[in-house]
Amino acid sequence: MNALHRKKLKSLMAMMLRWAEKDKTITHSALRKRAYEVSKDWKKAFRYVTRLENKQENGVMDRLPRIHMIECNKLYREYRC
């Protein structure tokens, strides 16, 4: 397993979490409790990165294929704070 790719995925996930914490919106439910929401695009992107990270940890992928690296780079540029 390539430790460098795993480290980069972990830092991308942390960056995305910081972005979500900063840009969340407050919604009110029927019970008048505060709830926070993030965009559906962020949820989809975070799920994508999480799946890649899980595949690397489980040994399914030793390295990230080029297409996944390109996608992760796009996400990095979009969600950096």
Strands (E), 1-81: 25-28, 34-37
The residue with greater pLDDT, 27 or 39, is: 39
What does the alpha-carbon distance between residue 74 and residue 46 come to, in Å, rounded to a whole number? 13
pLDDT in tens, 6-31: 899 999 999 999 999 998 887 776 55
Taking CA atoms, 34 is separated from 22, 39, 40, 43, 51, in Å, by: 16, 17, 19, 19, 29
pLDDT the model gives residue 72: 95
Structure tokens, 20: 């979500």
Average pLDDT value for the chain: 87
